[in-house]
Chains A and B, each alone.
Chain A
Amino acid sequence: QVQLVESGGGLVKPGGSLRLSCAASGFTFNDYYMTWIRQAPGKGLEWVSYISSSGGTIYYADSVKGRFTISRDNVKNSLSLQMNNLRAEDTAVYYCARDRNEIVPTSTFDYWGQGTLVTVSS
């Protein structure tokens, strides 16, 4: 069965860095676009970044552009999000999610991980 398992969250000071990982299993990882979506405590969902199946096409939300870097390792079936220069407003649960369709992206997400909490505070 499809599984996405995030890790790497934690407490970090403003200006600090953190690297999130998402381990994928149960499907052909290199056929799917993947995304990161976050949710601040008690708030709604915010799309963060999107990467194509090959890694050749990447998009970021304006709120993280220049600070976050998405990447993937199709050999290790893993997705990553390198977060630099973190701000208090980056505090959220970060979810990795899979595009609903293989090969041709739909920007609709059918499988989500359980999330990992990032807290940015001094």
Chain B
Amino acid sequence: EIVLTQSPATLSLSPGERATLSCRASQSISSYLAWYQQKPGQAPRLLIYDASNRAAGIPARFSGSGSGTDFTLTISSLEPEDFAVYYCQQRGNWPPVTFGQGTKVEIK
């Protein structure tokens, strides 16, 4: 089973700042990585699939990069609605599909 490790666990930033979230896979998953955003009491929302493709309706300030074992989600300029928990998810070697433990982006 592929383990995804996200860092940092918590990111404290102010609106307008750039957020950089990391996800590392325990073995190569090519570009088969997705990112989700989850707000309290809500279901996750797909942001990025296959490492760098924005899902429908996702603003351009969200971007993804990486391949192999190291991946990054970047939010270029944080909006108030972007403070949430972010999960990465791999489909490079499934089943099982696995998720990272999450990174919380909180207001500084």
Write the residues of chain A forming the contact surface with B, with a CB cutoff of 8 angstroms: 35, 44-47, 50, 59-62, 95, 97, 100, 106-110, 112-115
Contact = CB atoms under 8 A, between A and B. Distances in A.
B29 to A, nearest CB: 11
A93 B33 CA distance: 23
If over half of B's interface residues share one DSSP class (helix, strand or loop), that class is named, otherwise mixed; here it is loop
A97 B97 CA distance: 13
A44 B46 contact: no
Contact of A50 (B34, B97, B100): B97
Contacts, number: 57
Given A44-B102, A47-B97, A47-B99, A113 B91 contact: no
Contact of A108 (B46, B87, B102): B46
How many of chain B's residues touch chain A, expressed as a range? 20 to 34
If over half of A's interface residues share one DSSP class (helix, strand or loop), that class is named, otherwise mixed; here it is strand
A108 B89 contact: yes
Contacts of B60: none
11 contacts: A45-B99, A46-B99, A47-B96, A50-B97, A62-B96, A95-B44, A106-B91, A108-B34, A108-B50, A108-B91, A112-B45
B49 A108 contact: yes
